[in-house]
Amino acid sequence: MKTNTTSIHALRDGSTIRCRPLRASDRSKLLDGFEHLSPDSRYRRFFSPTPRLTPSMLKRLFDLDGHDRFAVGAERLRMGWLGGAGLGVARFIRLPDSRNTAEIAVSIVDEVQGQGLGTILMYELAAAARDHGITRFVAWVQPDNEPMKALIAKLDPLAHAHHEDGLLFFDFAVPGAIALPSAKVPVRRTGPLDGFVGWCADGLRQLLPSLPGGAFGRT
């Protein structure tokens, strides 16, 4: 995904969503979305109870340059073109000591989990990663986070992981970077102007990579 493009997708329930790069103007939406996270969702995001987002955490979440640090969000579409509620975000941050590798995280609101949005976001993230020379992803995952483990296995059946500091550390190929038996996600591309519509006041209910310890934290 280029930094000025959007894409339209259909979830399994038939609803239409739009993916586009995250930008600085989404700050208030991100804050509003945090207030809708369940304690379990917050723990999975930050690996500890997180009652609020501090200014320093927000600064890191929006420290994006579209090349080494990139995030893509998904929003529900209203009337076919108006941006509605935020449904999920995925991001990568390139590792400074391995320029072809980036740490990733993806988070989906509870109401649309199981509808294929995680796969859609990861394919969008992978497209951006390939555009910038990234061929491998790494991710920190809680051992009981079965949806994330299943998503990684779907993206790369050869993904491997090891336990470290009580978490699983995954290393896997960026989808499309090498030939893998993975399903393609149907996409209808739209022009750059579509991205100007922006996310409306309905907040994101899930944030992106956690902050301490790496690419916005371990995920």
Domains and CATH numbers, the chain: 6-197 (3.40.630.30)
- Quote the pLDDT of residue 44: 79
In the chain, beta strands by DSSP E = 6-10, 16-21, 69-78, 82-95, 98-108, 136-141, 160-164, 167-173, 188-190
Q: pLDDT confidence of 179, banded at 50, 70, 90? A: low
For the stretch 3-28, pLDDT in tens is: 668 999 999 999 999 999 998 888 87
For the stretch 28-51, pLDDT in tens is: 777 776 777 777 877 877 778 888
Q: Please determine, for residue 219, whether its predicted confidence score (pLDDT) is greater than 90.
A: no
Alpha helix stretches (DSSP H) within 10-76? 27-34, 39-46, 55-61
CA gap 51, 191 in Å, rounded = 39
pLDDT higher for 118 or 61? 118
- Quote the pLDDT of residue 99: 93
CA gap 159, 66 in Å, rounded = 26
Amino acid at 203: G
The number of angstroms, rounded, from the C-alpha of 99 to the middle of its chain's C-alpha atoms is 20
- Quote the pLDDT of residue 150: 95
Report the first-to-last Cα separation within the chain, whole angstroms: 22
- Quote the pLDDT of residue 133: 96
Inter-residue contact 136 to 100 (CB < 8 Å): yes
- Quote the pLDDT of residue 212: 32
CA gap 103, 91 in Å, rounded = 8
CA gap 38, 84 in Å, rounded = 20
